[in-house]
Amino acid sequence: MTEGEFVADAIDRHPTPRRILLATDLSGRCDRALDRALLLADEWKAGLVVVHALEPQYQAAIEAEHALPSWRRRDPNRRISVAERQVREDLLGRDVPFEVVIEEGEPAEIVLRVAEERGCDFIVTGTARNETFGRFILGTTVDRLARRASVPLLVVKARAGRPYSRIVVATDFSDASRRALEGVAELFPGRAVALLHGYRPAVANRISASAADETDRRLAADECAAFLAAADLTPDFRRNLQSFIEQGEIAWIVNAYAEDKGLDLLVIGARGRNIVLDLLLGSTAEHLLRSAPCDVLVMRKS
């Protein structure tokens, strides 16, 4: 398929995303996000919109143009041409329909506007950098997208060698996390998924710690059963779903699960959107987004 060949007939026949937006700064660290976006586009038979935002060209740089080679001075759109050429070279030989959008301005604003204009229903991006001991720095653009994107946002941290097969949904039994679980069932049907919940002791300093823990665990299990009963899930998905209810902070539980069992994708739910206030995801979701040792998918409850 060639650029722009978005086949509406095939796209409309499946409930998975029809058009994926890849937000990239064209650095080497975004290669992982590109590879994952291509894997998902192939899996979902979706088109790809690659968006790159150029930083504003400040006056000092403009005034220095006279010192540049002549061929550059004759090309006022040189920066756009260079960026577009890099994107096309990265996608050379890939059998995915794509479109390239290069604009100057604030990255998050451009990504959100293009996603709406092009009808993109899934956004993929990468982290700003990965520091020692696995600490991921998301960067301002990812933070803003996580707070304001109205469609699922995938933050890619790991290399994309294969489709996602080890998926975890972190839940606090809220409506937002229920939507996240339902979203995973729609996006990745047939996959084995684990549901993780971390509970805290309801009352501190009880006489019998073991009895108290059993009570807390039973209450959490009952809440989990009600949560799953209210979720819109297929019988096949329910059969492949494992639930783990553990005492402790959910971020620690997620990392322990990843270390012991392996984890490709963590899915978290985010609360409703408010562009004026730039509404926070919630402290737990934000912590998971930064601390998880794997890719993180933010599903927003509409």
Looking at the structure, tell me whether residues 156 and 172 fall in a common domain.
no
pLDDT, tens digit, 9 for 90 and up, residues 132-160: 344 445 567 888 898 889 899 999 999 99
- pTM value? 0.82
Rounded CA separation 39/50 (Å): 14
CA 166 to chain centre: 15
**Which of residues 112, 129, 160 is at a domain's end?**
160
Q: What is the CATH number of the domain that holds 43?
A: 3.40.50.620
Name the domain boundary from 144, 160, 176. Answer: 160
Residue 169 sits in the same domain as residue 144 = no
Same domain, yes or no: 35 and 75? yes
Note whether 36 and 119 are same-domain residues: yes
Quick one: average pLDDT of 287-298? 89
* Buried residues in 237-266 as b, exposed as e (16+ CB within 10 A): beeebebebbeeebbebbbebbeeeebbbb
Same domain, 9 and 150: yes
300 with 252, same domain?
Answer: yes
DSSP string covering 203-247 = SSS-S-HHHHHHHHHHHHHHHHHHHHHHS---HHHHHTEEEEEEE
Domain that holds residue 60: 1-160
pLDDT digits (tens, 9 = 90+) for 36-88: 999 999 999 999 999 998 877 654 455 565 566 655 555 556 778 888 888 88
